[in-house]
Amino acid sequence: MFEKLRILFYYVIFKYFHRFNSRRCLEKYQNKKLKHLIKKVSIKSKFYNKSKIEKFQNIPIIDKKEFMENFNIINTVNMKLDEAFNVSIKGEISRNFKPKVGKYTVGLSSGTSGHRGVFIVSDKERCMWTGAILARCLYSSIFHKYKIAMFLRADSNLYQTIGSKNISFKYFDMYNNINENILKLNEFNPDILVSPPQVLLQLVKSSSVNISPRKIISVAEILEDSDREKIERCFGLRVDQIYQCTEGFLAYTCSAGNLHINEDIIKLEKQYIDKENKRFIPIITDMCRTSQPIIRYRLNDILVEDNQKCSCGSFFCKIKKIEGRQDDIFIFENNLNKEVEVYPDYIRRCILLADDVEQYRVEQVEKNRIKIYIVSKNFNQSKEDIIQAFTKLSKDLSFKMPKIEFKDYNFDGSTKLIRVRRMF
């Protein structure tokens, strides 16, 4: 009962009290939260205590590698990496995601960058996360009744906290057979469907799906415009997004359909890699978590900002798109044998210029060689269109035309759908 009241408390806070009349008011709130965070963390975390940090700007920026190397001294609850990792792995193998380490929920990231991250969340932080998610993502009041279906590769105590008297939550394991999942999904008939894009696309293709959701939320993978259009056409609904990772609840789709960073939870710093086109790498600080502090943490994602004011009235940073990972910027060579970086968006456009491509994946295996996996109604014509698009792109961006190998696309639901990926 206490847990439900705590969730309700945070729901009310995030729903009704975190409304800022100006950017200045928001920044004033952030500064207050950051001072409190630094004071608390510097006492309990050996990593930050060792640094003798007093000002936020003096805190070193770290990435996932440094974060995991210092896991034992960053967290404030004396948890060891091996212990947290072993519990999380056992849960994934057994598909039983309820065990915790003491009072703390632990879990793993999917490890798309090659390194799996481990997260720690206290009961209080779990309730805070749930309150924020419900406040930002329910289409009506928390007191209405909802059935929420969530497709994920791994369940967690974090997600199970969502369930309540009014909210019926059902987890669908992506490792299970899709036809079996569809039968159970039809029987459940959710009001809100939460799923990675690759599962939503499978549902779009299936003639067996018989559900009438009132809201669809894309999670865990990049939602591309072409995929969004297919899903929206099928269900007759706008597809919203939750941008979340091991490091926290980062962004959500507002009532106007735009993606906003949760700047009442996350302090955002931008490291521009292409200022002209507003591409940046986010450096984040979770102002609400202290069991495993996330402070000036450099993500590997490429975001594109939108500086136009949102019609929803929010002063939170608006994101035009999540483009991909920095590791997946393709690297070609020009005629002087110097490197030319090509952002994932350019690669996507080359594929999508071929109208008949239904599914695709592009992998750069060497600087002068890429593999393209496609499903197309007219395979040979699609190949010609794609080669022509890459030829034009190579001229426009002044790099040597790579060798292109075409392969049949094979669906693999056990891994994240990454359509544009550099393999070296």
- CATH number at 230 reads 3.40.50.12780
Token pair of 337 as six digits: 């044998």
- Same domain? For 199 and 307 the reply is yes
Where in 219-276 does DSSP place strands (E)?
239-245, 248-253, 259-261, 266-274
Q: How far is CA 385 from CA 194, 226, 332, 362, 381, in A?
A: 34, 17, 20, 15, 6
- Same domain? For 263 and 130 the reply is yes
Task: State the pLDDT at residue 51.
Answer: 55
Q: Is 66 helix (H, G, I), strand (E, B) or coil?
A: helix
| 422: enclosing H helix or E strand | strand 420-422
Q: Looking at this protein, which amino acid is placed at residue 305? A: E
Q: 296, 325, 354: which is the final residue of a domain?
A: 325
What torsion do the CA atoms of 78, 82, 84, 90 make, to the nearest 10 degrees?
-160
HSE-CB at 362 with a 13 A cutoff on CA atoms is 25
Q: Looking at this protein, which amino acid is placed at residue 316? A: F
376, 356 Cβ separation under 8 angstroms: yes
Q: Which of 247, 263, 195, 215 is nearest to 26 (CA)?
A: 263
What's the CATH number where 394 sits? Answer: 3.30.300
At residue 386, φ and ψ (nearest 5 deg) are -70, -45
Task: State the pLDDT at residue 102.
Answer: 80
Q: Which domain holds residue 140?
A: 2-325
- Same domain? For 352 and 288 the reply is no
- Same domain? For 319 and 334 the reply is no
Q: Looking at this protein, which amino acid is placed at residue 87? A: V
Residue whose pair of structure tokens reads 């309730």 in the numeric block:
127
- Same domain? For 320 and 360 the reply is no
- Same domain? For 377 and 279 the reply is no
Q: How far is CA 158 from CA 79, 106, 126, 167, 263, in A?
A: 18, 9, 6, 15, 21
- Same domain? For 176 and 280 the reply is yes
- Same domain? For 276 and 340 the reply is no
**Radius of gyration of the chain from Cα atoms?**
22
- Same domain? For 145 and 50 the reply is yes
Task: State the pLDDT at residue 165.
Answer: 78
For CA atoms 44, 48, 53, 56, the dihedral sign is negative
- Same domain? For 377 and 319 the reply is no
- Same domain? For 274 and 391 the reply is no
Task: State the pLDDT at residue 245.
Answer: 81
Q: Residue 423: how many CB atoms within 10 A of its CB? A: 12
b (16+ CB within 10 A) / e for 262-271: bbbbbbbeee
Our count of domains for the chain comes to 2
Verdict on whether the full-model pTM lies above 0.85: yes
Q: 282, 298, 325: which is the final residue of a domain?
A: 325
Task: State the pLDDT at residue 156.
Answer: 60
55 Cβ contact partners less than 8 Å away, ≥ 6 residues apart: none
336 Cβ contact partners less than 8 Å away, ≥ 6 residues apart: none
Residue whose pair of structure tokens reads 């939750």 in the numeric block:
242
- Each of the 424 residues of the chain gets a pLDDT tens digit; together they read 678 889 999 999 999 999 999 999 999 999 999 999 998 998 899 998 865 666 788 899 999 999 999 999 999 999 999 988 888 777 666 666 566 778 888 877 765 555 667 888 898 998 999 999 999 999 999 999 999 999 987 656 556 666 677 899 898 988 888 999 999 999 999 999 999 999 999 999 999 999 999 999 999 899 999 899 999 999 999 999 999 887 789 999 999 999 999 999 999 999 999 999 999 999 999 999 999 999 999 999 999 999 999 999 999 999 999 999 999 999 999 999 999 999 999 999 999 888 788 889 999 999 999 999 999 988 999 999 999 999 999 999 999 999 999 998 887 766 788 999 999 9
First to last CA, the chain: 51
- Same domain? For 28 and 163 the reply is yes
Q: 325, 357, 377: which is the final residue of a domain?
A: 325
